[in-house]
Amino acid sequence: MDSNTIDRLTDFRNQLYRCFRRAGDAQFNIIDALLSETSAHSLAELSLSPFCARRWCSIYQALQQADTDRAKMRRLFVELSPSPSEGERLVLGFDASSIARPCSRTAEDRTYVHQSNLPKGCKPVTSGWQFSTLTVLPEVPSSWTYILDNIRVRSDQTQGEAAAEQIKEIMLLFKNRPIALGDGYYGSLAFLLLVEEAPCDFVLRFGKNRVLYRPAPPPTGRRGAPKKDGARFACKDPSTHATPDGYWEGTNRDGQEVQVSIWNHLHFKKARQIQVSVIRIVRPRAQNTERDPVTSWFLFYGEQLPALCEVCDLYARRYSQEHGYRVDKQNLLWETPRLRTPKQFQDWTDLVACTRNQLYLARPLAEEVRQPWESKRRELTPQQTRRAMARILAQLGTPAQPPKRRGNSPGRRPGTIVRKAPRYKTVYKASEKFASIV
């Protein structure tokens, strides 16, 4: 085995153990069970893992009693995050994912969230929790994302406000200026105002119906106030585009023909101090569907503009975050536990993030653990790496202490009245204030 990888993984595990201020031994048992028990479909089945020294009832008890130093955990995640290749920049992705809880009336602070894969004609809305995730994206699109932070979007905030909060706090921990990728929800003035001071560059999907303005012309000396905005730039109106400030034509990583144009020094009418660049990518041979459009628009905001020949392949790395969500939910049981409070589910989400990052760090140690029907030409997936984790964990050991025998529980005191758990209504966000500013 690679001694450097073992030392790095061991250091990660020892520092992670010190982030748990309460119920740390049980939580670490849960992480090790989640790392190695590929056949588990519930938290109770996780307790069958040989790396879980506690009984199944201790798992839910640990999540009820957990107290995690999340600031310390964030610093640990950043410290051991993957480094970009020489001469490259660190590329981050941020997005939000929903945890559906339509029947959990005792779950507090649920909101109406998006739900995918419903039958045609059904509204893609349900009640539940939403989590905002900030990740390090791999250079080649895959499910190998590294989680920097994953926080719940409260009912009194939007996913844009949650993402801005994460970015402003975590970017201060990086020495170099990274570049972050976001989908069309974040390509608005409201989000840019929230991250205006963040030490980070952004490439965001931009709506084709958006309108920006060029710099104001110099004063003419005539009576009246000078113009505050220049000529309009409407994405869907080619007559307003004029000559682009940059153009590149070639092929992307998949061999498709692409044409990239950029217009610099544009601004929103409601915030003229924010200067942005608009990028248009045209793929003439695309199918021109919602998932495969011929023309795509992007917004750049920051200081270090990437080369035009890199933009189309750069944004394609953002789709890795969707693959990472699939691994979290299908393999790592992220949405499986029926926890009552938002804090308990936040603690469970942190354990899933700790598991994902350990899989990332342990990937070089995993040998060929493929099933006969799995392709040997593709790189190992997180699920395949989990099959090798039992051997790796046996060599690494655990900082968690073994359980202490405490005898039988005395149970409830005679005369104790057990009241019904309080019921909560789903919080309806009457107006999306984040998206009200375009």
Q: Locate tokens 């004609």: which residue?
A: 121
Q: What is the mean pLDDT of residues 69-95?
A: 93
Q: What is the pLDDT of residue 425?
A: 92
Measuring CA to CA, which residue among 359, 358, 336, 357 is closest to residue 348?
336
CA distance 408 to 416: 19
Strand bridging mode 211-213 / 201-206: unpaired
The chain-wide mean pLDDT, for the chain, equals 90
Q: Which amino acid, one-letter code, is at 272?
A: R
Where residue 435 falls among pLDDT bands split at 50, 70, 90? very low
Read off the DSSP letter of residue 294.
S
- In tens, the pLDDT along 417-429 reads 989 989 999 998 8
Domain ranges, ordered by start, for the chain: 1-80+341-403
Q: Minimal CA–CA distance to 206: which of 97, 325, 302, 301?
A: 301
Rounded average pLDDT over 270-276: 92
d(CA 351, CA 224): 62
> Does residue 35 contact residue 358 with C-beta atoms inside 8 Å?
yes
Q: How many CB atoms lie within 10 A of CB 429?
A: 13
Minimal CA–CA distance to 185: which of 161, 208, 157, 206? 206
pLDDT (tens digit, 9 = 90+) per residue, 282-329?
A: 999 888 888 889 999 999 999 999 999 999 899 999 999 999 999 999
**Do the beta carbons of residue 212 and residue 267 sit within 8 Å?**
yes
Average pLDDT over residues 25-41: 93
| Residue whose entry in the numeric block shows the structure tokens 């995640």 | 77
